[in-house]
Amino acid sequence: MSDSPTRAGFVGLAGRPNVGKSTLVNAIVGSKVAIVSDRPQTTRRASRGVATDLVAGWQLVLVDLPGVQRPRDVLTERMQRRVEQELGGADVVLLVLNAEQGIGPGDQFIARHMLEVGSSTPVICAVNKIDRLGPAETAAVLAATAKLAVVDEIFPISARRGTGMGPLIRRLAELVPEGPLLYPPEDVSDRPSEVHLAELIREQVLRRTHEELPHAVEVSLQELASREDGLIEITAQVWAETDSQKAILIGKGGRMIRDIGTAARKELERELAAKVFLDLQVRVRERWRRDEGLLDRLGID
């Protein structure tokens, strides 16, 4: 570590659903700490990814937040409340935009909301997915971004390919305050391992059900045990809200849940560096998104 004082702080990621916030967190941390899907509202809990550079002497605690939206039920009310709380406590706000979609009403809504809050927190804008645009289109979306009154600086990036990530990370490190590291340097996330493993399973559900299911699916880890031969046994419940959704999750002859299980097991083995036996059980829990007590137990606050 250099002799200069260390810098460490919280970076809250704001943006519409499905702009690539989780992909960006994973790219900065250099490890998969947030699940990724092309389905909106993949992120339900505020999770923290921790990126540390001991040589340069900084640590960024990246708060991957649900996409900003107008609440529709108790679940989304809680998600939105958590967004506001986390952004209020951030040292830097990183507003993420989707270059491919341009500046839309949702981005304007977020910018107006941030102005109403009236915070003096610096707002850095990452215009993501520029790898999908040509030079003229990129210039146009950057010009439109510059008109957002809340934005202090703009960085065109591709989180998926790594384009432009260096300058963005260096600027974020300059903006967090001087102080000791907030997490041990080897940490990459603050999320309990059971929650992270359940999220890896839910990621595979989202990737395979596409438009057939709304975001009425949750995964709860029921058992995690290590055998003497090194095999890890995991039992998890996949919840749907209706019998028809349960039927979709199981699939004809059980094919869907087998495919989900096979893909999830590979992700779990990669994460745990061990062989995994995965038992997935599909259950119906009606209106779970409106159950305050259940959401408390799931840690969606």
Domain stops at, among 175, 203, 234? 175
191, containing H or E segment: none
* Total domains present in the chain: 2
Q: What is the pLDDT of residues 177-205, one digit of tens each?
A: 999 999 999 998 876 578 888 888 988 98
Q: Look up the CATH number of the domain holding residue 283.
A: 3.30.300.20
* pLDDT higher than 70, residue 86: no
What is the arithmetic mean of pLDDT over 162-168? 96
Specify if 183 maps to a domain.
no
Whether residue 142 is found in the same domain as residue 277 = no
Per-residue pLDDT at 63: 85
Per-residue pLDDT at 90: 85
Specify if 18 maps to a domain.
yes
CA distance 131 to 51: 24
Residues 6+ apart with CB under 8 A from 244: none
Whether residue 16 is found in the same domain as residue 132 = yes
Whether residue 90 is found in the same domain as residue 211 = no
Share of the chain above pLDDT 70, in %: 78
Whether residue 55 is found in the same domain as residue 199 = no
Specify if 88 maps to a domain.
yes
Per-residue pLDDT at 109: 80
Residues shown for the chain: 301
Token pair, residue 122, equals: 């610096």
Whether residue 73 is found in the same domain as residue 203 = no
Residues spanned by the domain of 271? 193-298
Specify if 187 maps to a domain.
no
Task: Confirm if 34 and 190 have CB atoms less than 8 A apart.
Answer: no
What is the arithmetic mean of pLDDT over 1-5? 66
Q: Look up the CATH number of the domain holding residue 102.
A: 3.40.50.300
Per-residue pLDDT at 29: 93
Task: Confirm if 57 and 7 have CB atoms less than 8 A apart.
Answer: yes
Specify if 235 maps to a domain.
yes
Top pLDDT among 241 and 37 is at 241
Specify if 53 maps to a domain.
yes
Top pLDDT among 184 and 68 is at 184
Top pLDDT among 151 and 292 is at 151
C-alpha distances in Å from residue 301, one per residue of 78, 205, 246, 295:
6, 23, 26, 7
Domain stops at, among 175, 202, 225? 175
Whether residue 159 is found in the same domain as residue 204 = no
Per-residue pLDDT at 286: 81
Top pLDDT among 55 and 300 is at 55
Identify the top-confidence range among 107-111, 188-192, 277-281, 287-291.
277-281
Per-residue pLDDT at 18: 77
Question: 3-state DSSP call for residue 241?
Answer: coil
Specify if 2 maps to a domain.
no
* pLDDT higher than 90, residue 34: no
Whether residue 127 is found in the same domain as residue 225 = no
Top pLDDT among 33 and 212 is at 33
Whether residue 151 is found in the same domain as residue 29 = yes
Strands of 232-240's sheet in order across: 218-226, 232-240, 276-284
Specify if 182 maps to a domain.
no
Burial of residue 4, with CB atoms counted within 10 A of its CB: 0-12 exposed, 13-18 middle, 19 or more buried? exposed
CA distance 51 to 108: 30
Whether residue 15 is found in the same domain as residue 112 = yes
Measure CA 51 to chain center.
Answer: 15
The sign of the torsion formed by the CA atoms of 287, 65, 299, 280 equals positive
Top pLDDT among 78 and 187 is at 187
Q: What is the pLDDT of residues 244-282, one digit of tens each?
A: 989 999 999 999 999 999 999 999 998 888 999 999 999
Whether residue 114 is found in the same domain as residue 13 = yes
Per-residue pLDDT at 233: 95
What's this model's pTM, rounded to 2 decimal places? 0.69
Q: What is the pLDDT of residues 207-243, one digit of tens each?
A: 888 665 656 788 889 999 988 898 999 999 998 888 9
Domain stops at, among 149, 175, 201? 175
Whether residue 200 is found in the same domain as residue 280 = yes
Average pLDDT, the chain: 83
Q: What is the pLDDT of residues 138-154, one digit of tens each?
A: 999 999 999 988 899 99
Whether residue 137 is found in the same domain as residue 250 = no
